[in-house]
Structure 1
Amino acid sequence: MLWIGGPPGAGKTTMARLLARRYGLRRYHADVHTWEHRDRALAAGHAAAARWERLAPVERWSRPPDELLAMSLHHERGPMVAEDLRALPRAPLTVAEGTPVTPGVAGAGDRSVWLMPTPEVQRDRLAERGIGAGVSALYRLLIEEIEAQVARAGARTLAVDGTRSVADTFAQVEKVFADALAVGPLAGSAAERARLLRYANRAVVRQHAAYFARPWTVGDLAGTVRLFACECGDADCDAEVPLALADFPDPPDGLAPGSDEPAFPPVLAPGHRRLWGGPAGAVPG
């Protein structure tokens, strides 16, 4: 397991996506398990989770800072992330990233790093996303909380101050994980890479399905378009495919009969083709 933590706006998702595509890793993105984790907390009778669901969306973000932090389930979700990861296959290597990835979950060794943006960088990046005042207040709390947790653990950090390009930051992350990446195990075949991409893509659909199941939400899978990773299996492919969530093909994860190749029709970017035998069908972008 490789771990990338940090507050919102740090660049965790970008770094994990680049690592996974370049090296053939499974990518676990904690954000796309948010509502699944909230459902677990509700089932366990967690008071702050229940309070979040009861409040009207506009009311949630006017709560006092300590209540905002409690309702975020920041501390509770870390063990849920660990539980999710224990259920995954041991190979190939997984890179797990997200705000709930804390030193208490990931440890402070050479397989973990926290990206720590300056307040100015975080503010600018969140402004680009159109984040409201209430959400921004929670995110400022999270940067303070995570900084304190990382400092207590003496964990490794990379400063994100806006002076490095994405490529330069990625080179630093690669350097942190160089020894682990040299050992692996990594995905070798196009078919295995395609299965890893399908795992990450399917998690996006399930996240939205759990969200739209709430009585206070507006919208549905048919009317929501998201970007999915192209599943051609090419190690150099970094294409993304816009697709309505309801159109995402979600058959079982099975293999083609007598083969170790995926049985699902892949999501493909225009002009791309699957690099394994597999099924005849495909879902074009």
Structure 2
Amino acid sequence: MRDLRHVYWIGGAPGAGKSTISRRLAAQYGWHHYATDDTMRAHAARTTPASAPYLHAFLAMDMDERWVRRSPDVMLETFHWFRGEGFGLIVEDLLRLPPEPHVVVEGLRLLPHLVKPVAASGQAVWLLPTAEFRAAAIEGRSTPSFVCRTSDPERAARNLAERDRMFTDRLRDETERLGLRTVEVDTGMTEDDLFRQVTADFGL
């Protein structure tokens, strides 16, 4: 898409370093940083049950229904952002930005099959953590606040971790099928290593 040729895309699984690398790119090159996580609430408010049925079903659930009582498989298949709901709103926002400076957009909402038709060639990459990296990241981070608001935080955390593992596998399969660039993020990779790899993939 010609109108988005100034946009660089960094998708991937939760906790893979998307935000960190995007902020570094924005700081080093003077780009605009667009974090899709920061727009979730605003985008949800711009949807209707007809335009985003999975989102509105999720909003109607209590915390246990969201994170405890449903299996990780169901959580994966019905999570609205994983279904691509609201992606058009991301594109709308990006089209409103001026062509200069460039924009780096990042987040788990950047599904490969949705990004490929609108991204310029060589300007999209997905960060995919290995199983070891995911395990280390989970151990090293605090429990998300929404998990603590369930009746069974331990089960909710396990469900969430398994859902994210399956999402990572889905991203890996989809990027391979579509011929898109990925970076495997493992425990032996430093932040500088990851930054150099992404900049190389972007031809910077």
TM-score calculated relative to the size of structure 2: 0.79
Show the 5 A alignment for 1:248-259: none
Specify the alignment match of 1:129 in structure 2.
141
Specify the alignment match of 1:106 in structure 2.
115
Specify the alignment match of 2:40 in structure 1.
34
Matched, 1:158 2:165: no
Aligned residue type for 1:165: T
Aligned residue type for 2:27: R
The secondary structure found in structure 2 opposite 1:178 is: coil
Matched, 1:78 2:87: yes
The secondary structure found in structure 1 opposite 2:46 is: helix
Instruction: Flag the structure with more relative contact order, 1 or 2, with Cα contacts below 8 A and sequence separation at least 6.
Output: 2
Instruction: Give deviations 1:164-194, integer Å, cap 9, x for gaps.
Output: 2111111111212235xxxxxxxxxxxxxxx
Specify the alignment match of 2:104 in structure 1.
95
The secondary structure found in structure 1 opposite 2:125 is: strand
Cα distance, 1:68–1:149 mapped onto 2, change above 3 Å: same
The secondary structure found in structure 2 opposite 1:73 is: helix
The secondary structure found in structure 2 opposite 1:84 is: helix
Instruction: Give deviations 1:81-133, integer Å, cap 9, x for gaps.
Output: 22221122221100011111122233273111111110221222133223422
Please say which of residues 126-135 and 4-13 is displaced more in the overlay.
126-135
1:66 Cα deviation after fit? 4.3
Show the 5 A alignment for 1:161-180: 161-179=186-204
1:65 Cα deviation after fit? 3.4
The secondary structure found in structure 1 opposite 2:176 is: helix
Matched, 1:118 2:130: yes
Please say which of residues 68-77 and 164-173 is displaced more in the overlay.
68-77
TM-score calculated relative to the size of structure 1: 0.58
Specify the alignment match of 1:263 in structure 2.
none
Q: Which runs of 4+ in 1 moved over 4 A?
A: none
Specify the alignment match of 1:17 in structure 2.
23
Unmatched tracts of structure 2, length 5 or more = 1-6, 144-156
Cα distance, 1:60–1:173 mapped onto 2, change above 3 Å: same
Aligned residue type for 1:158: V
Instruction: Give deviations 1:127-160, integer Å, cap 9, x for gaps.
Output: 3223422322321232122112211111011111
* CA RMSD of superposed structures (Å): 2.0
Specify the alignment match of 1:65 in structure 2.
72
Structure in which a larger fraction of residues adopt helix: 2
Please say which of residues 143-152 and 65-74 is displaced more in the overlay.
65-74
1:43 Cα deviation after fit? 5.4
Identity %: 32
Looking at structure 2, the residues matched to 87 and 127 of structure 1 have their Cα atoms a distance apart, in angstroms, of: 40
Instruction: Give deviations 1:41-64, integer Å, cap 9, x for gaps.
Output: 345453322221121112211313
